[in-house]
Structures are given as C-alpha cells and as structure tokens.
Amino acid sequence: MDLYEHQARDLFAAHGIVVPRAEITDSPREARAIARRLGGRVVVKAQVRTGGRGRAGGVRTAEGPAAAELTARRILGTEIGGHPVRTVMLAQPVAVAEEFYVAYVLDRGRGTFLAIASARGGTAIEETAAAHPEAVARIPVDPVEGVTPARARAIAEAAGLPPRTVDVLVRLWQVTVREDALLVEVNPLVRTDDDRIVALDGKVTLDDNARFRRARPDDAGAEHRDPLEAAAAAKGLTYVRLDGEVGVIGNGAGLVMSTLDAVADCGARPADFLDIGGGASARTMADGLSVVLSDPGVRCVLVNVFGGITACDTVAEGIVTALDTVAPTRPIVVRLDGNNAARGRAILADRAHPLVEQATTMDGAARRAARLATTA
C-alpha cells in the first residue's frame, strides 16, 4: 500500500526524523487559516499517490494566506497522472542549501534490502541516475544485520553524503523495519541554510501482507483511497493502479506480472495490475473490465488468460457482458489459451465487437496492445 506524502512524513516524525511543520485540508478556505497558523508563506502540495506532482503543477509556493487559499482552490479537483486531487498539504518553506536522495527498497531477487543514495537529489534524480549512474550508490543491506551507525556511515560515504545524514539513514531503516515497509524514500533530503537535515518529501510503500500486525495510516482514512482501487476492492478484485496507458487483466498473479513485463518490453507502460483469480466467474471478468476502462489514462486494454479452473469461455462471456454494459471507447486485445480456449474465441468472434481483437500468444497480444496504446 502506497502512502500519501503527509502519511509518510508522519511516520518519519514518529521515528525522530525532522520534517517541516505542515497540515492537510480539502478546503481552500481552511488552507487560508492553515497558512496563517504556519506563518503566512507556505508550500501547497497536492496529495496523490503518484510522482511528477511538481511538473504537473501540483506543488506551488504561496506568499501568504490569501494566496494559499487561491492556490489550494486551483489544485483541488484537478488530476495528476489520472489521480484526482482531493486534499492538499500546506508546509512551511525551508531554505535549502543542498539536496540529497536516500531510499531503502526490498530487493526480492536477492532476498535483501537495497540502500540507494545520492548527493544529487531533487526532481531530476531519474535523469541523474540515467546519465550519471556513478553518482547513485546502491548498497545491499542484510535484513538481519540491518543499518547500524557503522553501516549508515558506509552508505553516506559511498554516496558522498555529509556525516550529519548518518543518523537519518539509521532512523529511516527503523521506519522500514518497524512499519513493515517495502520502500522508504526521501527526495529530497536537504541540508538547510541553518545546517539542519530535513526530509522535505517522502514516499513509503507498506507490505499489505503485514497488515495484521498493526493498524495502517490508511485504515483510519479510507476516504483518501484511490477511487478505482476502492471500487475494485468493493467488487473483491485484486487491483493496483499504475501510471501507464495499457490496462492489464489476467488470471493469477504470476501471469499478470509476466504480462506487465511483456507490455513494458514492447515500449508501453502498464496502467494497472488486475488479477481476476483462478476461479473467476463471468461477472468477475465483467467487473474487472469495467474498473480498468474507468481509468481515463487507459488507451488500450490487454486481457491475458490461461484457462484452468477459470475456463476461457467463461472469461469470454464476461467480456461480452461488459461490452453490453460499459460501452467501451478504447480497443481491447484478448489472448485466450488453455481450458475451453477455442470456445472462448468463438464467443468473441460471434460477438464481433469492432473494438475487440484477438491474439494467439502473450507476446503478440502485448505488442498489439502497446502499438494501439502508443498510437491512440
């Protein structure tokens, strides 16, 4: 589960990491009052679970309470990467002397965590990593040993971070372990003009498999959940919204993950992860297609099903049901294989919907979906 920035910063503060004073609101009028409480000049930041807020106009400085109200009014109700902005955070501005990047992320392939750090933080960190990979240190972290002060010093030295960041590196590791996080990222971590180390922005992804251990920040604020994820959850679907243009539906987590990779290998970006499960009904398939087509960022949908417990003809019937109720306006590429695949293909062929086409292989379906999405 991805947290909103204000939830991430609350976790940081709880573990002793310095963050700017801030408050959240969904009201422009309240934004004026918050700015007054915070001293007048504030940074207004859209609260959405996606990146690129600054470039999309979702992070702006307001010079006073009246400007804060106007800025909040302009940001609230907009969309960033297909995510509607329902709340904004107003934070005290900080005089920045240097910007850094630090993160811990689970490395599933190696069974370890990876510390990623750079002395060149900020909005261009992706470009820095691509153009100057030597400027980004990637250091494995043994989950048993963890990040001790000595290990934190080694990370800081490898990345060229000042010694004062060592304590933050240790505390961020505590956030990772104690909160059951898969990703903890601060960009930027800054040194201020008065020589403080402050986390200006934060991204945290919690492990849903550890939800039973403790209440989560989102458990007390479900109204802030992504609306499509909430709609999918209400229908019993396993759905995660991403930032791409190809909607992906499959049966079984492994098949869906492989399909995401196939789409990416074809030069497109997946818009979601949606697993209809191993014993899905026609209704489940129809519900899944309805959710994916509700995402305005989706330009094409790829349905990739290998029939087993879920027979392909059942999936095809679900697609036909959805076509009659959703009235899609974007193309749908379907690949059916396995149990009752021939029957499923025949059902779709008989329906002969102009926006539905079939492919015989997963790679072929991914190539076609990517082409349709990138040329739409």
Residues with a catalytic annotation lie at 101, 185
**Closest by Cα among 136, 114, 134, 112 to 125:** 136
Residue 193 in tokens: 């003009």
Residue 309's CB: how many other CB atoms inside 10 A? Answer: 12
Q: How many CB atoms lie within 10 A of CB 208?
A: 12
Query: Can you tell me whether residue 262 is helix, strand or coil?
Result: helix
What phi-psi label fits residue 77: left (phi over 0), alpha (psi between -120 and 50 degrees) or beta?
left
DSSP output for 222-252: GGGS-HHHHHHHHTT-EEEE-SSSEEEEESS
Name the pairing type of β-strands 300-307 and 246-250. Answer: parallel
Q: How far apart are CA 49 and CA 5, in angstroms?
A: 8
Distance CA 127, CA 138 (A): 16
Is residue 110 exposed (0-12), middle (13-18) or buried (19+ Cβ within 10 Å)? exposed
Q: Reduced to 3 states, what is the DSSP secondary structure of residue 319?
A: helix
Round to whole Å and give the CA distance between 84 and 47: 9
